[in-house]
Structure 1
């Protein structure tokens, strides 16, 4: 394996696990902060990191399998460890987070990382266990009922329809293939709910299914919280985003396409205490929804990493990559920062957003666009080429067709 990245600054090299928009957003954040090129490792090349000058991609067949991962991550560590003083390893997906946590014996020989122990990770990522922890710490979450493979044909819900439906074990679920598959569902009747459950379990799923009271409200009731906790478990930055447009494609439900950065000191303080009481370290990413029925923000899940849309934090002036580097590479103890700088992050064209954004968010979004206070993850003036510009703009333009086909459709059909 040859070294393909020759940054002038050899103090450290960001090594990103993943080749998607999350990986590009992290590479862009590192480039904006330090002017360096990152290395991206994955199982397949993806459009988001293609033909880039700020991230170089290496792919390996079945790289998300333990034995393959161990082989190549060691080769990368040996090769680049000779060229750079430190290698900073960052997961850009759930499976890669799992691979880091499960292979610390080899990871720690070559890389610097900041991830929680395996036991804590499994508790927080299993939604049933996560909600029990939320009970302990007073975090609000939607009314929840658990369906198992054994009782999927015979149960009584303790709340009324509509309901939200999703797999408790997201890592097992992601590998399934069946007609009508989505990351999450909305069921308006018992008949529709049982049809969803039947399809999931018939496809080979063995875990539990989470059924939740569907909180009313459009996209503007969704929020996402990004945080970074240093290696001592102290929260260093919190940045809240107000979703103004979600992704409705079958494999994208639960992701965001447009976010406005918005501060909320009560949420910041509550989740800071939660993370520090747990002695959590590294990036965290919470999805939540405002319930107008009781005025509470209800959390759905925590991601043990920065989220796909986390570049909205950097776009709004709070560089998410810099906090990790300052902590792990340069050992600087930054003061706690509660971010507050309204700015629009986009993963769709502005004109499309204005067509579909809710009336609650329209005026604010229009003003931010008019004032040119917006940014995309994938477009970057310092990573310009005609080919990449055309490719990415075409990618964003495809969203027009997707919104026409899928907007507001959460069922199986």
Structure 2
């Protein structure tokens, strides 16, 4: 049953599944509709009982973004507004322009802390200083050419150090993450990125072997004073493999890994974190060690795994950043399956052992797809969800590596 005690009106920037999952959480707990601002209308948030969806063109312009948030807050001046970004570049804009949003709760760390962990090059150096395992890495510019990565063992992956900076460029063949199996292929990747106009730092990183099931994440939450309140480990079963969404988790099981949680907490405490964070890591099958890959400074779509497993994200935000209520730190041990694709598809692409795990959790009622919200009543929305779920079979048939 929804709680009605605290008046809070969420404003969520971006119209992806993560934005919807966050809006659903606030609707379930507080009975409020989140105002979702996105550059285009998207099926993920359109027609939802939990969302007041508004198309605002030009959100990449900070002035327009600030104006849009302030306009929403001005509609209900007696209500507390809490603003969240569903993409790294949107979070970066909110942090940078926080002072221009008086009266709006912006539950994120400061610019210095944000820069230390969201720039992948700085993040890698910080992990090394703290004794946290990371893959062997070289930071370079595309124009430097493959010789600058001498000493690394192939295959390698190539990705922008700053997700925000990379978001600002668009070119044919752009991928979230590139792979190169030898020096010649690395040269081709760097040349394509340079020709596309991206001149920022790139990470060339030795590929940690293993498939989707070696991936994992740690979700953490810190209050407004930087005190950690919650942490949870999640083991990935299946990821997306389309070029633009490579690495996004589509099926994940929450569980326990004390060492990974402790390392992630120590990292974020060191920089003075605030709010939510999602830390990506990958287990190296050669030594069994989880190597840290990056920090996402927000609630992504897999963040709903926290809520689904019994730990309400919306209540965390309201208690910590709106009401200022104290809370005892908690490391979750709950086992729950989070998924955004149909379970038959998950079972098709995972190992026999993980397929049995999926079946067991589903039969026990411990499997949740955030899109399947029973409060939704719009037939067109359900038709769009059904079409999107069916389309996942086509996408995996085309892009999943064999």
**Bin for the TM-score computed over the shorter chain:** over 0.9
Q: CA deviation at 1:67?
A: 1.7
Which moved further from structure 2: 223-232 or 382-391? 382-391
Q: CA deviation at 1:228?
A: 0.7
Q: Does 1:178 align with 2:174?
A: no
Question: Would the alpha carbon gap of residues 287 and 154 (structure 1) be closer, same or farther in structure 2, given more than 3 Å must change?
Answer: same
Question: Would the alpha carbon gap of residues 38 and 125 (structure 1) be closer, same or farther in structure 2, given more than 3 Å must change?
Answer: same
d(CA) in 1 for partners of 2:66, 2:272: 28
Q: CA deviation at 1:10?
A: 6.5
Consecutive unaligned residues in structure 2, runs of 5 or more: none
Question: Is the CA contact 2:82–2:107 (under 8 Å) kept in the aligned structure 1?
Answer: no
Q: Does 1:68 align with 2:61?
A: no
d(CA) in 2 for partners of 1:360, 1:193: 36
Question: Is the CA contact 1:74–1:110 (under 8 Å) kept in the aligned structure 2?
Answer: no
d(CA) in 2 for partners of 1:351, 1:185: 29
Consecutive unaligned residues in structure 1, runs of 5 or more: 1-6
Q: CA deviation at 1:156?
A: 4.7
Matched with 1:97 is 91
Q: Does 1:19 align with 2:15?
A: yes
Matched with 1:269 is 262
Which moved further from structure 2: 271-280 or 121-130? 271-280
d(CA) in 2 for partners of 1:179, 1:17: 26
Q: CA deviation at 1:277?
A: 2.8
d(CA) in 1 for partners of 2:276, 2:52: 23
Question: Is the CA contact 2:280–2:293 (under 8 Å) kept in the aligned structure 1?
Answer: yes
Question: Is the CA contact 1:78–1:110 (under 8 Å) kept in the aligned structure 2?
Answer: no
Aligned residue runs from structure 1 range 7-406, under 5 A: 11-82=7-78, 84=79, 86-107=80-101, 109-406=102-399
For residues 331-364 of structure 1, the C-alpha deviation after alignment (integer angstroms, 9 at most, x for no partner) is 2111111111111111111111111113452221
d(CA) in 2 for partners of 1:315, 1:252: 23
Please report the RMSD computed on the Cα atoms of aligned residues, expressed in angstroms. 1.8
Question: Is the CA contact 2:264–2:279 (under 8 Å) kept in the aligned structure 1?
Answer: no
d(CA) in 1 for partners of 2:143, 2:186: 16
Q: CA deviation at 1:20?
A: 1.4
SS at match of 1:294: coil
Matched with 1:407 is 400
For residues 54-92 of structure 1, the C-alpha deviation after alignment (integer angstroms, 9 at most, x for no partner) is 11112211022112112222222222224x2x1111111
d(CA) in 2 for partners of 1:381, 1:280: 35
SS at match of 1:348: coil
Q: So what's the TM-score if we normalise by structure 2?
A: 0.95
For residues 189-247 of structure 1, the C-alpha deviation after alignment (integer angstroms, 9 at most, x for no partner) is 22221111111110000012211111111111000111110011111011111110000
d(CA) in 2 for partners of 1:310, 1:59: 24
For residues 270-292 of structure 1, the C-alpha deviation after alignment (integer angstroms, 9 at most, x for no partner) is 22222223221111111000012
Question: Is the CA contact 1:288–1:297 (under 8 Å) kept in the aligned structure 2?
Answer: yes
d(CA) in 2 for partners of 1:17, 1:214: 33
Question: Would the alpha carbon gap of residues 156 and 303 (structure 1) be closer, same or farther in structure 2, given more than 3 Å must change?
Answer: closer
Paired residues, what number?
A: 400
Q: CA deviation at 1:39?
A: 1.3
Q: CA deviation at 1:153?
A: 4.9
Q: So what's the TM-score if we normalise by structure 1?
A: 0.92
Question: Is the CA contact 2:98–2:106 (under 8 Å) kept in the aligned structure 1?
Answer: no
Which moved further from structure 2: 302-311 or 281-290? 302-311
Question: Is the CA contact 1:81–1:110 (under 8 Å) kept in the aligned structure 2?
Answer: no
d(CA) in 2 for partners of 1:219, 1:153: 27
Question: Is the CA contact 1:9–1:36 (under 8 Å) kept in the aligned structure 2?
Answer: no
Question: Would the alpha carbon gap of residues 316 and 8 (structure 1) be closer, same or farther in structure 2, given more than 3 Å must change?
Answer: closer
Question: Would the alpha carbon gap of residues 315 and 112 (structure 1) be closer, same or farther in structure 2, given more than 3 Å must change?
Answer: same
Question: Would the alpha carbon gap of residues 301 and 153 (structure 1) be closer, same or farther in structure 2, given more than 3 Å must change?
Answer: closer
d(CA) in 2 for partners of 1:181, 1:96: 20
Q: CA deviation at 1:123?
A: 2.4
d(CA) in 2 for partners of 1:177, 1:90: 25
